[in-house]
Amino acid sequence: MKPRRAKYVACRNQMTTLCFMPEVQWSPVDEDDVFSQRVREQWTEQLGRRLDILIAGCGGGGTLDARRGDPLVTGVDEDLPPLRAHTVSRQDLDAYYLDDMRAVPIAPRSYDVIYVSFLLERIHNAELVLDRLIAGLRPGGLLLVRARDRRSAYGFCDRMAPSWLRGLLWKALAPAGTVGPLPAVYEPLVSREGIQTYCLMRGLMIAEDYTKTSGPARRGPHAGLVKTACGIVSALSGDRLTDKADEISMVIRKPQNHFARLI
């Protein structure tokens, strides 16, 4: 891949051991609310110290409501035209950096919260990128992950469709204003089992684990047709590819324990 010049823009002045804790939580509640609540709790645990938050995947969306915390929020993402356009329009970022995710600057142990928002399924070297993000997280910090599950019927259709077909169908199937179409890479890491194994190998704790149906085409003007197609794919796979949920949402904590593997 030909290297691209890094671009940095300072924006407006507002700017895990798969120790499944004895009880890893599952819930049908809105993960956006759960994530924002966990960020507010993190701020309280820090005795009101201003939080440093990194949103990885800022070009595709992903916001957190910290309320009184008034955090310092930085965004990072790939440098692609639709992602750049959305990032520039955001009002909640103090700074952002657009480049290859293997090259964006992430200083070690610099963030209290890292929110990975629908990024992993659309990039290459997802495990390497996630390692870099975890290295930027302070001990005791939160990693909030939302990703499209490659082992769902929706994820299977998304990754198997050729790029020209995805581009052709995007305007017809996605809700108006949705950022895209974006690459569909879906490396093996990007599944519930893949992330669980990753956390086990990196000494990270999964505190909460949610599933949800949120694929853009499942919420678009032809949602019924897409639902039927996903049901057919699921049936043909013997239900190995589920049509019940396509999103992974996890609250993961980097332990304070100095015996844990340091990354």
- Answer with the residue of higher pLDDT: 48 or 56: 56
Taken in order 20, 134, 100, 34, the sign of the CA dihedral is: positive
d(CA 198, CA 218) in angstroms, rounded, equals: 28
Q: Is 224 exposed, middle or buried (0-12, 13-18, 19+ CB in 10 A)?
A: exposed
pLDDT at residue 92 greater than cutoff 50: yes
pLDDT at residue 4 greater than cutoff 60: no
Q: Is the peptide bond before 71 cis (omega within 30 degrees of 0)?
A: no
What is residue 32's predicted lDDT score, i.e. its pLDDT?
A: 56
Mean pLDDT, all residues of the chain: 85
pTM across the whole model: 0.85
d(CA 56, CA 74) in angstroms, rounded, equals: 9
What is residue 28's predicted lDDT score, i.e. its pLDDT?
A: 38
The number of helix segments (H) and strand segments (E) in the chain equals 7, 8
**Where do the domains of the chain lie, and which CATH numbers do they carry?**
7-148+189-213+245-253 (3.40.50.150)
